[in-house]
Amino acid sequence: MKKLILYAGIMLIVVILLPLLIVKGCGPSPAPGKKPPEETVQPSQYTITVYNASLKKAEEMDLEEYIKGVVAAEMPAEFSIEALKAQAVAARTFAYGRLSGAYASKAGVHDGIDICTDSTHCQAWTDKASAMKKWSILFAARYWSKISKAVDDTRGLIVTYQGTVANTLFHASSAGRTENVEDVWAGGSVPYLRSVPSDGDEVSKGYVTTVYFKIGDMVRKLKNAYPKEDFDEDSVRDMEILQYTAGGRVKTVKVGHITLKGTEFRTLFNLRSAAFKFEPADDDKIKITTTGFGHGVGMSQWGADSLAKRGGTFREILLHYYTGVDIISIEEYEQIK
């Protein structure tokens, strides 16, 4: 019996292990003292000047590498790859619009610099090391690889409308519909920034949020913002929503003797969105409930992920949220403009 076991062991070595060792030994090996060549990233032909708000300095960046940092900062890496691709194209379009001069940044914020890393003004951005640090060590490498693939697979693609670069605004989650741009910011309507249905936003964290304000604190905020107006506690108790937008957010609200835009009220009280309602909580408090997060114009990020989970491609996502647009390469755009 022992001889039979010994024979079987020898046959295993001869038939299986020995050929594997021979094949492995026949492959090419790096020269002594040299490491195998690392994978290189082909730089794009475009660079962008970015004002790093945290470091308070400007940096020159390769456009495609910059977009990876935007996607990592702006959208959860857990999202579907097609949603990440849609975010990459939207972010690249936004950046190229500033780089090319199609859209100017607000005067006095970062004059002479293409874009900044402040999400309230331009787009959020993070470097690779910081992004990987915020993720679990088990997923960091996988997430960065996934984001890189989303950017590389859409390399150079931007959104245009009738031969011009689109202003591809985006936000975290809508309240069932996105907004017409003129209901959020002053100016005329934009054909591709129209109110459209947005499904799936309701699964986002903090989709419905309730906050409580003391009536006295609200009066003080109102007086500071509008010193010429006479506000008292009854002004707050008797607040009334007058109009709603096409996207379901508050368009105008009456407080005392003045009418505020819903966006002004949101900013004043630092609400998650202008989709809000209020009601008395007790004798000295007001309860305000908000739905969604962000300004509501353009692409909803959670809505994009919902579309992707239902089989939508990045092109279908972009064409849904930006009405009547085209998706082309920067090179193609520069040839036809």
Residues 6+ apart with CB under 8 A from 111: none
pLDDT tens-digit profile of 261-288? 999 999 999 999 999 999 999 889 999 9
| 202: pLDDT strictly greater than 90 | yes
| 244: pLDDT strictly greater than 70 | yes
- Each domain of the chain, given as residue ranges in start order, spans 47-173+296-336, 208-291
> C-alpha 259: how far from its chain's center?
32
Considering the chain, what percentage of its residues have pLDDT values greater than 90?
78
More confident position, 301 or 106: 301
Find the Cα–Cα–Cα–Cα dihedral 22, 28, 31, 36, rounded to 10°.
-120
What integer pLDDT is reported at residue 107 of this predicted model? 67
What integer pLDDT is reported at residue 105 of this predicted model? 72
pLDDT tens-digit profile of 97-119? 999 988 877 766 777 899 999 98
Whole-number average pLDDT of the chain: 88
| 174: pLDDT strictly greater than 50 | yes
What integer pLDDT is reported at residue 10 of this predicted model? 43
What integer pLDDT is reported at residue 18 of this predicted model? 39
Q: Counting beta carbons within 10 angstroms of the beta carbon of residue 112, is it exposed (0 to 12), middle (13 to 18) or buried (19 or more)?
A: exposed
